Chains A and B, each alone.
Chain A
Amino acid sequence: MKRHLISAADLTRDDAVLILDTAEEMARVADRPIKKLPTLRGRTVVNLFFEDSTRTRISFEAAEKRLSADVINFTAKGSSVSKGESLKDTAQTLEAMGVDAVVIRHGASGAPYRLATSDWIDAAVINAGDGTHQHPTQALLDAFTMRRRLVGRDAGLGQDLAGKRITIVGDVLHSRVARSNVDLLHTLGAEVTLVAPPTLLPVGVDHWTCDVSYDLDSVLPKSDAVMMLRVQRERMNAAFFPTEREYSRRYGLDGERMARMPEHGIVMHPGPMVRGMEITAEVADSDRCTVIEQVANGVHTRMAVLYLLLGGNEPAVSHARPVDSETK
């Protein structure tokens, strides 16, 4: 793991497991009367959001505050300067204020990568979702949720997701969540199958480390987890599929379909859900659906990422080491 977290593909298996293990310990903080740790006291983190995403921003903010970081929220939407100038100028403004890390959400794929590799700033960069590219902390919280449910809270410590069969359904083409999950789940040893109408799969998907199917019903019985992606109604107008009704009939998850999953199988969704489109209310509200858990797990996972990137003198997870009596 590097100074930045830009793509789930950058994480090794050991990095990812360390993050998930650390997140488990962070989760226990949430059960305490005082849900706060002094770890990032005196560090300044900016949440730089060029795109509206209240839930992701709140999740990061909660994680930052629980670690006692100083938090600055910066919503750059609606700036009159051209987007390119505003990213660079904004970054340099923040740099001048002495921030230690930038959590960035941007509509342009690659913007966080560009920020991290340009000479614009020195701060650590954490990608909170860029265009249709990556959303690594989402993939981490999803993996965390899967490991808890499919391996076990304590049994899962130190473990990956070897052999687990994960199905991701929906608008893969426009989904950074899908890309991040395919990368991370593969690294963690899971077998991923993407299910979508061919119009919503990118050209070149055959080179991804996963299987592809157009038939949800054939995949469900062997799915330990099914992740439903949000399908925006506007896609219909661009001829990605004929009607909402046809989409949900072929690719939506309803109670009847859910019953074909193995008994231990879970239903996931990165939110926000479009009930009646990709998921019925019956499924969304069932106890197999982990949507609310995912939200809670998002805070734990982001705390883990922040701690491992910013908690020490050099943000290098692979150098993390256990405490020993000799270092006291």
Chain B
Amino acid sequence: MDTQQPDAARPVLEGPDIARVLTRIAHEIVERAKGADDVVLLGIPTRGVFLARRLADKLEEITAGKVPVGSLDITMYRDDLRMHPPRALARTEIPGDGLDGKLVVLVDDVLFSGRTIRAALDALNDLGRPRAVQLAVLVDRGHRELPIRADYVGKNLPTSLRETVKVLLAEEDGRDAVLLGAKRTAQDGEQ
């Protein structure tokens, strides 16, 4: 699963595409939020955090204001904890002014079953009371298991459950790309 490198992974987004969709999402956020005054971006580790920072940079370019960015580790709120060995925790970093009354935009790389976002909403509940919560994802690959949808989508990518979607980001992986590949083992469930 996580260690799987799809042999014949096919890029569906390349570096410039990713930059372009992030710019678009930034504009959409400004438009819907009527400016970005009270926007707080919370990335979900690992790659959601990098995306949130990139989005923040773009928002700051557009609005010339400061956009707080943080991270939200959802490990301890996962509903599948009992199905795996304990995972190493990632950082939860809430910007100094907190979340109360803010427009929190959760940022993640791939939207799939929706369980991660469900966990993120639970985690947010313990951290403050935002005015509203929105969701931005780079790729929505479908197959939702919960009534959750994204407010901002970089690319809708219809997939089968036998396919894998892998997001690569320069900060972590050395280059930007979204790869679509075939699953090597026929393991269902968690994906």
**A-to-B contact residues, CB < 8 Å:** 18, 21-22, 25-26, 28, 32-34, 36-39, 307-309, 311-317, 319-328
B116 touches A328 (CB 8 A): yes
B87 touches A312 (CB 8 A): yes
Contact of B2 among A18, A313, A316, A324 (CB under 8 A): A324
A-B contact pairs, 11 of them (CB 8 A): A22-B89, A33-B127, A34-B126, A36-B126, A307-B86, A311-B81, A311-B86, A313-B85, A321-B2, A326-B164, A328-B116
- Residues on the B chain within 8 Å of A38, using CB: 76-77, 122
In this complex, the member of B2, B47, B94 whose beta carbon has the largest number of chain A beta carbons within 10 angstroms is B2
Residues of A within 8 A of B83 (CB): 312-313
A325 contacts B76, C-beta separation under 8 Å: no
**Beta-carbon nearest neighbor of B122 in chain A:** A38
Least Cβ–Cβ distance between A126 and chain B, in angstroms: 14
Give the distance in Å from the alpha carbon of A324 to the alpha carbon of B87 in the complex: 11
Residues A307 and B115 in contact, CB atoms below 8 Å apart: no
**B140 interface residue, CB < 8 Å from A?**
no
Report how far A313 CA is from B109 CA in the complex, Å.
27
List the B side residues contacting A327 at CB < 8 Å: 1-2, 190
Q: Is the CB of A28 within 8 A of B126?
A: no
Which B residues have a C-beta under 8 Å from some C-beta of A?
Answer: 1-2, 4, 45-47, 73, 75-77, 81-92, 94, 108-110, 112-113, 115-116, 122, 126-128, 164-167, 190-191
A321 to B75, CA, bound (A): 11
Q: Which 3 residue pairs across A and B have the least CB separation, nearest first?
A: A319-B85, A324-B2, A311-B86
Q: Name the residue of chain A whose CB is nearest to the CB of B85.
A: A319
- C-alpha gap A93/B126 in the complex (Å): 36
Could you tell me the distance in whole angstroms from the C-beta of A113 to the nearest C-beta in chain B?
A: 23
Query: How many angstroms from the CA of A82 to the CA of B37 in the assembled complex?
Result: 69
Given the contacts A32-B127, A38-B76, A326-B4, A320 and B88 also touching, CB distance less than 8 Å: yes
Cβ of A304 to closest chain B Cβ, rounded Å: 9
- With both beta carbons as reference points, the residue of chain A lying nearest to B117 in the complex is identified as A328
Contact present for A317 and B86 (CB under 8 Å): yes
Cβ distance A259 to chain B, nearest Cβ, rounded Å = 38
On whether the beta carbons of B46 and A323 are closer than 8 Å, the reply is yes
Which of chain A's residues have a CB closer than 8 A to the CB of B167? 325
- The answer on a CB contact under 8 Å between A323 and B85 is no
In the bound complex, how far is the Cα of B89 from the Cα of A28, in angstroms? 12
Min CB gap A83→B, angstroms? 34
CA–CA, A201 and B84, complex, Å: 44
Residue with the greatest number of chain B CB neighbours at <10 A, chosen from A316, A320, A326 = A326
Beta-carbon contact of B92 and A28 below 8 Å: yes
Contact A323 B87 (CB under 8 A): yes
- Residue from B1, B81, B89, B94 within 8 A of A25 (CB atoms): B89
Tell which of A308, A321, A325 has the most Cβ of chain B within 10 Å: A325
Contact A325 B166 (CB under 8 A): yes
Q: Which residue of B lies closest to A303 (CB)?
A: B76
Chain A residues contacting B91 (CB-CB under 8 Å) are 25, 28
Which B residue sits closest to A317, measured CB to CB? B86
Question: Which A residues touch B90, using CB under 8 A?
Answer: 25, 322-323
B28 to chain A, nearest CB (A): 22
With A25-B92, A32-B126 in contact, do A324 and B46 touch (Cβ < 8 Å)?
yes
A315 cross-chain contacts in B, Cβ below 8 A: 85-86
Bound complex: CA A36 to CA B191 (Å): 28
User: A25 CA to B75 CA in the complex, in Å?
Assistant: 11
Bound-complex Cα distance A311 to B81 (A): 6
* B93, closest chain A residue (CB): A28
For the complex with contacts A25-B89, A37-B77, 9 further pairs of A-B residues with Cβ separation under 8 Å are A18-B88, A33-B126, A33-B128, A312-B86, A313-B82, A317-B86, A322-B90, A324-B2, A326-B164
User: In the bound complex, do residue B75 and residue A323 qualify as a contact, i.e. CB atoms below 8 Å apart?
Assistant: yes
Partner among A32, A308, A328 whose Cβ is within 8 Å of the Cβ of B113 = A328
B139 and chain A: residue at smallest CB distance? A325
Bound state CA distance, A323 and B92, in angstroms?
Answer: 14
B128, closest chain A residue (CB): A33
A312 and B82 contacting across the interface, CB-CB below 8 Å: yes
Other-chain contact of B87, A28, A32, A314, A320 (Cβ < 8 Å)? A320
Q: Which residues of B contact A321 (CB under 8 A)?
A: 2, 85, 87-88
Residues of A within 8 A of B128 (CB): 33
Q: How far is the CA of A308 from the CA of B85 in the complex (A)?
A: 8
Would you call A320 and B127 a contact (CB within 8 A)? no
A36-B126, A38-B77 known; A325-B89 Cβ under 8 A: no
A326 touching B87 in the complex, CB below 8 Å, given contacts A25-B73, A32-B126: no
